[in-house]
């Protein structure tokens, strides 16, 4: 009788690109004890978990109290849990579709050596060129603005340590610093950065929680939210954005030695992220209440201390990491466009990547609205990129009985029928389309336009105290 382990390896893509896997295993074996292997060459399930957990919150951690002031405490907690579950579900769908695509390609003897599979290629292979174009447009635009948000966050945070320069000047400086991420080859090489990044967000979260509780409630604190529909849906959409950070799921999976083991990683990462976001957002909102409506960055209300400065510095480093994390898929796409993706010369690839940073730099200077831009991106881009498109793609991929019968991944144990999966997917599409894109788009764009009218484009110092002009 064939052992169960061998059966599993035969029917799931554990042997995806067997020669590639054998090369990986040989490389791992040869360098197992080296420092480079320990810090640089990552591809385990733990690396994937650190990547997901580390990069899911980033600067959004600082805007969630602002969202709570718009939503109120109860709605803030409910929406976090709800969108955390929804995000984990669609990340699971993306992982299933990746495995399906790669399994089909392996049967055609396609090799992915020196080639990183991306989401738009999965859509192309499973559903055709129209879906490829749609996936490419939404994914690239989302990742572009996700990188813009990280750059804006860098400038917003450093200002609270050093206000000798305005935020726009800091954006110039950090734009140049973040351009160095062109030298990071792929997600294989984020092992130490993802690990350190998670430590940084963990420290910042618990600093916010403890500092808010120690500070106590401000005099005359009020918690009137929700008061307006515009604010309510803006806050809800920011949380939609928070748990929609899996636009790089395919690239993370491709960096894994055994990508079929990804299934539950995003959910486990989300559970940990709840321990960071729920206490910090609740505590800061409890302490400052409606004051947060005019302070989208939680750092702006907490007193200047060594602990706060440490949190600011750690978040700056983390945002640099997250900038690279969000930009790397864009680098891959651009490399493929200019024809250098398969080259082994990292210097040539880095040089080819530089043009990607320029529009990000420019947009961060044009729209420096830390907080409101998160909601706008969430409503208009995240809603489709990581919620609606994966759900629709999954339904269309398995619409035929033959596709369901030959599926590389069967429905999960907690939802064992294809009908149940279709019901959940239809609910996700309907909810996000109506509430996330519809109401959320209206509210977030209304709020965003208000920021433009108030501060203007190319604002020199968004939400800075009047005395700092």
Alpha carbon 151 to chain centroid distance? Answer: 14
- What pLDDT was estimated at residue 270? 94
Q: How far apart are CA 466 and CA 302, in angstroms?
A: 18
- What pLDDT was estimated at residue 288? 96
Q: How far apart are CA 399 and CA 418, in angstroms?
A: 10
- What pLDDT was estimated at residue 468? 42
Q: How far apart are CA 48 and CA 324, in angstroms?
A: 16
Both tokens assigned to 6: 């061998």
Alpha carbon 13 to chain centroid distance? Answer: 26
Angle (CA) 246-247-249 rounded to 5° is 60
Q: What is the Cα gyration radius of the chain?
A: 22
- What pLDDT was estimated at residue 209? 97
- What pLDDT was estimated at residue 32? 47
- What pLDDT was estimated at residue 434? 95
Write down the pTM of the prediction.
0.85
- What pLDDT was estimated at residue 463? 63
Residue with tokens 């029917």: 11
Q: How far apart are CA 293 and CA 75, in angstroms?
A: 16
- What pLDDT was estimated at residue 127? 96
- Beta-carbon contacts of 368 under 8 Å, excluding residues fewer than 6 positions away, are 152, 155, 156, 167, 168, 171, 458, 459, 462
Contact 422, 388 (CB under 8 A): no
Along the 469 residues of the chain, how does pLDDT read in single tens digits? 434 343 333 334 444 544 444 445 444 444 444 666 666 667 889 999 998 998 888 778 888 999 999 999 999 999 999 999 999 999 999 999 999 999 999 888 888 877 889 999 999 999 999 999 999 999 999 989 888 888 888 887 888 787 778 888 888 888 888 888 888 887 777 788 888 999 999 999 999 999 999 999 999 999 998 888 988 998 898 898 888 877 788 988 988 888 888 988 999 999 999 999 999 999 999 999 999 998 888 988 999 899 999 998 998 888 888 888 888 889 999 999 998 888 888 889 989 999 999 899 888 888 887 667 878 888 889 999 999 999 999 999 999 999 999 999 999 988 889 999 999 999 999 999 999 999 999 988 888 888 777 776 777 776 676 654 3
- What pLDDT was estimated at residue 40? 64
Query: How many C-beta atoms surround the C-beta of residue 113 within 10 A?
Result: 9
Contact 48, 262 (CB under 8 A): yes
Q: How far apart are CA 58 and CA 175, in angstroms?
A: 17
DSSP states of 309-373 as a string?
HHHHHHHHHHHHHHHHHHHHHHHHHHHHHHT-TT-S-HHHHHHHHHHHHHHHHHHHHH---TTHH
- What pLDDT was estimated at residue 35? 60
Q: How far apart are CA 50 and CA 45, in angstroms?
A: 9
Q: How far apart are CA 248 and CA 190, in angstroms?
A: 13
- What pLDDT was estimated at residue 110? 81
- What pLDDT was estimated at residue 12? 42
307: exposed, middle or buried (C-beta count within 10 Å: 0-12, 13-18, 19+)?
A: middle
């Amino acid at each position: 009788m064939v052992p169960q382990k061998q059966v599993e390896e035969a029917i799931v893509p554990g042997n995806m690109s067997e020669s590639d896997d054998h090369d990986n295993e040989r490389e791992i074996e040869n360098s197992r004890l080296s420092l480079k292997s320990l810090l640089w060459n990552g591809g385990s399930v733990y690396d994937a978990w650190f990547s997901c957990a580390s990069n899911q919150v980033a600067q959004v951690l600082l805007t969630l109290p602002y969202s709570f002031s718009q939503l109120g405490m109860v709605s803030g907690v409910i929406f976090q849990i709800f969108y955390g579950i929804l995000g984990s579900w669609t990340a699971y769908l993306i992982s299933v579709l990746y495995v399906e695509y790669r399994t089909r390609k392996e049967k055609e003897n396609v090799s992915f050596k020196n080639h990183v599979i991306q989401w738009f290629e999965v859509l192309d292979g499973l559903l055709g060129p129209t879906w490829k174009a749609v996936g490419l447009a939404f994914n690239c635009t989302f990742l572009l603005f996700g990188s813009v948000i990280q750059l804006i966050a860098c400038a917003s945070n450093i200002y609270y340590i050093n206000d000798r320069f305005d935020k726009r000047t800091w954006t110039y400086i950090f734009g140049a610093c973040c351009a160095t991420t062109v030298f990071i080859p792929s997600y294989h090489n984020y092992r130490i950065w993802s690990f350190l990044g998670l430590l940084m967000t963990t420290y910042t979260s618990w600093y916010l929680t403890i500092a808010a509780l120690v500070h106590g409630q401000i005099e005359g604190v009020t918690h009137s939210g929700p008061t307006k529909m515009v604010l309510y849906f803006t806050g809800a959409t920011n949380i939609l954005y928070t748990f929609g950070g899996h636009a790089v799921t395919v690239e993370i999976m491709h960096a894994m030695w055994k990508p079929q083991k990804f299934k539950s990683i995003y959910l486990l990462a989300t559970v940990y992220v709840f321990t960071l976001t729920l206490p910090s957002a609740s505590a800061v909102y409890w302490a400052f209440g409606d004051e947060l409506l005019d302070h989208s960055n939680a750092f702006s209300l907490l007193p200047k201390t060594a602990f706060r400065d440490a949190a600011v510095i750690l978040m700056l480093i983390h945002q640099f990491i997250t900038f690279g994390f969000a930009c790397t898929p864009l680098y891959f796409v651009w490399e493929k466009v200019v024809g250098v993706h398969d080259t082994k010369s990292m210097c040539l690839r880095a040089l080819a990547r530089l043009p990607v940073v320029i529009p990000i730099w420019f947009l961060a200077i044009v729209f420096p609205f830390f907080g409101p831009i998160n909601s706008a991106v969430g409503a208009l881009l995240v809603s489709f990129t990581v919620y609606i498109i994966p759900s629709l793609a999954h339904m269309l991929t398995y619409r035929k009985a033959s596709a369901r019968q030959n599926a590389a991944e069967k429905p999960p144990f907690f939802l064992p029928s294809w009908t149940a999966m279709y019901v959940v997917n239809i609910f996700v599409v309907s909810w996000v389309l109506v509430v996330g894109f519809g109401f959320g788009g209206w509210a977030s764009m209304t709020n965003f336009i208000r920021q433009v009218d108030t501060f203007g484009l190319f604002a020199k110092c968004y939400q800075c105290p009047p005395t700092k002009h």
